[in-house]
Structure 1
Amino acid sequence: YTLTEGDFHHLKKARLTNLHIAPPALNILTIMECDSPENSISLREHHKTSLSIFQ
């Protein structure tokens, strides 16, 4: 699953709500504040289930 910049801001806002998601799924969202040579951030395959609630 690839996050666009818009997706990232949506997820960042959504993680402040009371969602029952395992901490590792949230922790991977916290490392995306830095500048990256790419505009999209690809998550590993096993994170798809954790993020599918936002799709």
Structure 2
Amino acid sequence: MLAAIFLIAYIGLALPVLLVGVALVLWPLVPVLVVFVAAIALLSVPAGLRMLRRA
């Protein structure tokens, strides 16, 4: 069970990096990084606000 948790965490860290790498092969640098930063902001800001409300 613990190994599965670590595997899921590793995939969660590695997958975005691999996807950005593949996207950089296909598209220019600036649009890929802008989309990546926007996606991270859209996912992390609401999660951070939710954690602040629980604290």
Higher relative contact order (CA 8 A, sep 6+): 1
The structure with the greater share of residues assigned to strand is 1
> Over alpha carbons, which structure has the higher Rg?
2
Q: TM-score, normalised by structure 1?
A: 0.30
The structure with the greater share of residues assigned to helix is 2
